[in-house]
Structure 1
Amino acid sequence: MTSKARTSPQPARAYETVLKSIEADLRSGKIKIGDQLPGERLLAETHGISRASVRDAIRILDAMGMVRTSTGSGPNSGAVVISNPAVGLSATLRLHVASRQLSVADIVESRILLETWAAQSADLAGNPEHSQAVIRRTGELLEAMDEPGLDREEFHDLDAEFHVLLSSLAGNAVIEAMMESLRLSISDYVSESVASDAAWQKIATVLRSQHHAIHQAVKGGDGPLAAHLLREHIQWFYTESRQY
């Protein structure tokens, strides 16, 4: 086999024409969030490909968090354009973590970098309505996490919402999506890291205290302190959970 043959580009897969077309329509504004994509038959005829290839494209868009699919008829049936970037990012990260090409330690460090940056960049005065809503909601989450009868899975769900909401105060949608995707990518690791319920109760007690301190710093507008507390909090849990 010649060098030229080895490096020659592979022919585009049929479904890629649909993906590129939808991307172009999103860029131009021809398709917007909430719009229903054309049906399989029309897309197949438009692009000169099989309906099976169209279905492949729709499945990929679904996995990427770009469309929601449902059966039936009406405006909410078929493939409706949405935008949930964390879904696609987290699915990719989860697979690479599972394959050991990305380590949990690297995911944790990335989360620390994003959360500490977000804490220091938070501008409570820039969007006071959003800031007040976040402070109020995260306060409610703390109260829910303080409930003694709360099971571990519920605690982790509340904990995740708490962190993602705080990161939203920086006003950066990409950071918020990445935060959510990083959380989802190691959710199983987090939930399974501490096997003993007794050990978990001890850890949860410390986590609750740390959450309250972080919340107080954010609420008071002290970004550097909030960032410091977040780094300690995330590193502590990762280190502690590895002992079990």
Structure 2
Amino acid sequence: MTSKPSTPSVPARAYETVLNSIEADLRAGRIKLGDQLPGERTLAETHGISRASVRDAIRILDAMGVVRTSTGSGPNSGAVVISEPAIGLSATLRLHVASRQLSVEDIVESRILLETWAAESADLTSDPQRSAAALEHAGELLKAMDAPELDREEFHALDAQFHVLLSSLAGNAVIEAMMESLRLSITDYVSESVQGDEAWDDIAAVLRAQHHGIHEAFVDGEGKRAAQLLREHIEWFYAESHRI
């Protein structure tokens, strides 16, 4: 019996050594949020790789929202550990949407699933003060979106904040990060989907009314109604933007 030829293993890239090491240190608590990573030279010597490979690793961590880099000296210079998971998720999703490997339709459907679940799972009584503050902030965003002089890009930015903020009431950090990443991943699609100011003015008027209805349902603690209104709101805009 002849044996199958073994598949040669792909050698790990040098920068992956740094990524794996930092992941291990984060898991073990040796590195925490706000800590500054060792400098390029130290990391290169520690892992026996070039400083160029270290820079590649830091750039990847920056793009993933794991570190923030800055020049200069002091505790906030170099690569400082942060946690902004939506940055990396949204950047990845945007590229795959652009390459047409992920459809906007699937992204929209995922948004509906997450937002309706979050609305039905929102517990305003577990932390009343936090919930009241979030709903008050959402109300302020609605007032800002109601301003007639508001341009389209500003409206979309406020709209994104509004949806992510309401989703945060479910108290699930992963859902919140995913929601923000999904919103960011189709920002260009949303902003480019409606051509012409007259068409946008009519659509914006409907979106404003829908937003107020959704907010009212949350304030009243009616999660199921809020979920249904969210579904109708998202589906309506997607259908309307395809109709134009």
TM-score range, shorter chain: over 0.9
For residues 31-64 of structure 1, the C-alpha deviation after alignment (integer angstroms, 9 at most, x for no partner) is 0000000000000000011000000000000010
- CA-CA distance at 1:206 after TM superposition: 0.3
For residues 136-185 of structure 1, the C-alpha deviation after alignment (integer angstroms, 9 at most, x for no partner) is 00000011111111100010011000000000000000000000000000
Secondary structure of 1:132's aligned partner: helix
Structure 2 counterpart of 1:212, which letter? Answer: H
1:58 aligns with 2:58: yes
Secondary structure of 1:69's aligned partner: strand
1:135 aligns with 2:169: no
Q: How does 1:73-92 map to 2 (within 5 A)?
A: 73-92=73-92
Separation in 1, partners of 2:175, 2:205: 29
The answer for unaligned runs of 5 or more in structure 2 is none
* Aligned twin of 2:180: 180
Structure 2 counterpart of 1:165, which letter? Answer: L
Structure 2 counterpart of 1:143, which letter? Answer: K
Separation in 2, partners of 1:142, 1:184: 19
1:105 aligns with 2:99: no
* Aligned twin of 1:35: 35
Separation in 2, partners of 1:57, 1:150: 41
Separation in 1, partners of 2:60, 2:4: 32
* Aligned twin of 1:24: 24
Separation in 1, partners of 2:129, 2:175: 20
* Aligned twin of 2:223: 223
Separation in 1, partners of 2:217, 2:102: 32
* Aligned twin of 1:237: 237
- CA-CA distance at 1:3 after TM superposition: 5.7
Q: How does 1:162-173 map to 2 (within 5 A)?
A: 162-173=162-173
* Aligned twin of 1:146: 146
Coordinate RMSD, CA, aligned: 1.0
Separation in 2, partners of 1:144, 1:95: 31
- CA-CA distance at 1:8 after TM superposition: 2.5
* Aligned twin of 1:4: 5
For residues 193-224 of structure 1, the C-alpha deviation after alignment (integer angstroms, 9 at most, x for no partner) is 00111000000000000000000000110000
Separation in 1, partners of 2:5, 2:218: 58
* Aligned twin of 1:208: 208
Separation in 2, partners of 1:215, 1:157: 17
The 1:64/1:4 distance shift into structure 2, 3 A limit, reads farther
Secondary structure of 2:24's aligned partner: helix
- CA-CA distance at 1:130 after TM superposition: 1.4
Structure 2 counterpart of 1:144, which letter? Answer: A
Give the TM-score normalised by the residue count of structure 2: 0.98
Secondary structure of 1:75's aligned partner: coil
Secondary structure of 1:83's aligned partner: coil
Separation in 2, partners of 1:93, 1:3: 38
Secondary structure of 1:227's aligned partner: helix
For residues 104-127 of structure 1, the C-alpha deviation after alignment (integer angstroms, 9 at most, x for no partner) is 000000000000000000000011
Identity value in percent: 77
Separation in 1, partners of 2:105, 2:96: 13
Structure 2 counterpart of 1:15, which letter? Answer: Y
- CA-CA distance at 1:4 after TM superposition: 3.1
The answer for unaligned runs of 5 or more in structure 1 is none
Separation in 1, partners of 2:11, 2:130: 48
- CA-CA distance at 1:129 after TM superposition: 1.8
* Aligned twin of 1:193: 193
Separation in 1, partners of 2:104, 2:179: 14
Secondary structure of 1:124's aligned partner: coil
